[in-house]
Amino acid sequence: MLPGPGGEEVPTLPPEVLAEAARRSGRPLREVEVRALEEGLLPERYLRNLGLFGWEGQRRLLEGCVAVVGCGGLGGHVIEGLARSGVGRLIVVDGDRFVPHNLNRQTLGTLDGLGRPKAEVAAERVARVNPAVEVTVRAVVATAENLPDLLDGADVVVDALDTPRDRLMLQAAAARLGRPLVHGAIAGFIGQVSTVFPGEETLSLLYGGGTVPAHGAEFFLGTPAPTPALVAAFQVAEVLKILLGRGELLRRRLLYIDLEAGTVETFPLDAGDGPGSDHPSAPGRNPGGP
């Protein structure tokens, strides 16, 4: 028993007890944790989640599945945040390998990981953080042809990609599968987040209207460490709200963050609306665009 929200005693199970129960039963640790919650026993690692998510909410997270497409600057932070929150199944998609210029901002990047597939490193990190989370590794480049298979089984899809073309491709794939997409993009000290449900064309409003550029603004401006960390935090929050069925989502809206100015703004995204300045420091700058 440990003190929970409000000081009441909460029956908890430490990680080593749950791991032993999984070993003896031959069942996956995630299933053991779900069963414990159903029996009124809280895995101790989720004690600080309890006041916000509740027992049922934590169970829903453990039974959820999220596909994160891109395991770099945004994706690494998103994957870690979801694993620590207790999202029970992750599909991590990235055909890239770590290189030295990733080290300034990508939380999964380390010197001893250089040259290794990002998706495999992500799975290893999750195993060290929360071994109950089941990770499916897809160490391949996402294409329009393979995305339906890569995303199969996901309840939510996270956009942690680099280019407008790839983001539009992912939006189309998520829509065909009937799954919500949580979009994030970064460039310099600027970031943006939006949530797109099937039937909505949010990213088309942001990136459409002509020739889609091969590179986003990140390619030209670079990205310092704080920007992906903050944008990914908003993406994780959107995913949790979707899985929990609570809160106000960023649907048909763009959350725009300017760390240099110290501002966070929200813009409506209706047809013909939304940010449109070409100046990198202007409010409404689209970090995923040219």
For the segment 211-217, the average pLDDT, to the nearest whole number, is: 62
Instruction: Tell which of 62, 93, 109 closes a domain.
Output: 62
**Number of structural domains, the chain?**
2
Q: Per-residue pLDDT for 274 more than 80?
A: no
Q: Are 211 and 154 in contact (CB under 8 A)?
A: no
Query: pLDDT tens digits, residue range 56-114?
Result: 999 999 999 999 999 999 999 999 999 999 999 999 999 999 999 999 999 999 999 99
pTM of the prediction? 0.90
Does 132 share its domain with 148? yes
Q: Tell me, what's the pLDDT at 285? A: 40
Q: Tell me, what's the pLDDT at 284? A: 37
Distances (CA, A) of 19 to 24, 29, 126: 9, 6, 15
Does 109 share its domain with 120? yes
Residue 285 lies in a domain: no
Q: Tell me, what's the pLDDT at 225? A: 96
For the segment 144-169, the average pLDDT, to the nearest whole number, is: 97
Q: Tell me, what's the pLDDT at 26? A: 98
Q: Per-residue pLDDT for 231 more than 70?
A: yes
Does 147 share its domain with 24? no
Residue 42 lies in a domain: yes
Residue 273 lies in a domain: no
| Cβ burial, residue 2 (10 Å; 0-12/13-18/19+) | exposed
Q: How sure is the predictor about 272, in pLDDT bands with cuts at 50, 70 and 90?
A: very low
Which H/E stretch holds residue 79?
helix 73-85
Question: What whole-number distance in Å separates Cα of residue 60 and Cα of residue 54?
Answer: 10
Evaluate the CA torsion angle 218, 203, 88, 234 in order and state its sign: positive
Q: Are 269 and 192 in contact (CB under 8 A)?
A: no
Residue 56 lies in a domain: yes
Q: Tell me, what's the pLDDT at 282? A: 30
Does 51 share its domain with 113? no
For the segment 133-159, the average pLDDT, to the nearest whole number, is: 98
Does 141 share its domain with 254? yes
Instruction: Tell which of 62, 84, 113 closes a domain.
Output: 62
Give the three-state DSSP class for 140. coil
Residue 276 lies in a domain: no
Residue 106 lies in a domain: yes
Q: How sure is the predictor about 30, in pLDDT bands with cuts at 50, 70 and 90?
A: very high
